[in-house]
Structures are given as structure tokens and as C-alpha cells.
Structure 1
Amino acid sequence: MHIKAIHHIAILTDDYEKSKAFYTDVLGFTVISEVYREQRNSYKLDLAINGLYQIELFSFPDYRERASFPEAKGLRHLAFLVDDVAASAAELKAKGVDVQDVRIDEWTGKKFVFFYDPNGQPLELYEQ
């Protein structure tokens, strides 16, 4: 097997419109496709990041809350690469997103910051 790249990351939401606005208007992802699947009573929204990777945003009526605190097994967070963490964090704050303080990775010396999407999914900005 030769894995070439990450194809997509799936995120489940309980408030589809709020999450769609967050990922498109706040984070700036572009919509690849959007479909309502009547048999599942569910939306599926495919989003692009610079045309390279996708996030699949799903709405399902039967969801479970994410177990995060204390730390839960499984996907811990999703990190996005940016040129300037401080400027990006300030932009998020200006858009009403609660952002933690910028920190420095003790191993790489790079800046990073955490914040959450409307579903409580931990997200990170990591400086290139």
C-alpha cells in the first residue's frame, strides 16, 4: 500500500446552517458540492481548502455529543497550516470566534493556537 495523501475529513454537526457558515464564511473554505439525502434526512457538504483537501460536513438527526473532556480516544483535533498564526487568530476573533492564547511548540519553535467549531470540534492553526 502507498498512501498518497489525506483525502477528506468528515465532521458531523447538529446545526448544519451554523456549521456551513463557520467553515465557509469564517474559515473561507469553498463549496465543492452540497446535497440533501432525503432517505437519511441529512445534508452532505463537500468543502475545499485551496482546492487540495476536503472536509465533508454532515448533518444527521441521530447524533451523539463528542466526548472531549477529559481527553477522549480518537481524533484529538484538526490542524490547519497558516503563514501567520497571530494574524489568523486576530481575524477569527474579529469574526466572533473564541480563540485561545497563541502558544509556541516546544519542539519546533512554531506558533499555534486552538479554537472550536460550532460543534465543539477542536481546531488548531499551526504556523508554517
Structure 2
Amino acid sequence: MNIYVFGNGNISFDDFKKHYEEVINPYLNNEEVSFLLCDFRGVDTLIMELLKCKTSNVSIYHIGERARYLPDKFNTKVGGWKILGGYENDQERDHEVIKKCTHFIAIDFNSDHKRKSGTAKNMEYCEELGKIRLMK
């Protein structure tokens, strides 16, 4: 099971705990589960902080030569994470992660009738490709 975890950059910590942490917790001790993440602020950094001492089964996808954010490796499992970069833009990176995932966890707080967020577009793409959503 490869779970892509993503969402808005402006999520509150309370909303992260409510909408993400409760969903992710049952998968944390399962060695058959890998987490696929990107390196932007908000959900990406919060999920990295949650996972850093819990699992080595994490892949971080980033644009350019190096990730914008990674947790500290000292006394954590971050040293075992796969860091995959060199993508030209968000869309190229996101589409690669979506191709690799089997499941996803995401919620969008930012779209409205005037604007569709990148999170909403990625959720739609996941659903088009038959990826399984793991939200409540």
C-alpha cells in the first residue's frame, strides 16, 4: 500500500490533527505501508513531523536539486527516507507521486466557485486514476 498524503499549505494544526492524524494512525505500524509526500508547507511539513520517528517507509518528492524542507535526521527515521528530486514543476512532481500511489489522504479547504486549488486538482486526478481515498 502506497499512501500519498497531501493538502493545503495553510491548514491549521487542529484541522491537521482532525482530518489527517486520525486517518493515518492505523497505518503507522504496518511495514507494508509506504507514505509518499511532497515538501511544501502545511500538510507536507506536518505529516513529515508526524512520521519522522514512526517509520522509515517514506518517500519525499521535490522540485529541483534539493527538498525545501526535511525534518532532522538525528535520532529519527528520516535517514532511511527516500528523497526523490529533479522535477521541473509542481504538476510534474505531483503526477509522478499520483502514478506511484495506490491510496491517498487529502482534504481541500481552499477551493470555491472562483478557484480550484492544486489540492482539489490532485484529488480529482487521483480519483480519475482509481486511487482509493482513505478519509472519513
TM-score scaled to structure 2, two decimals?
A: 0.27
Higher fraction of strand: 1
Larger RCO (CA under 8 A, 6+ residues apart): 2
Higher fraction of helix: 2
Larger radius of gyration: 1
TM-score scaled to structure 1, two decimals?
A: 0.28
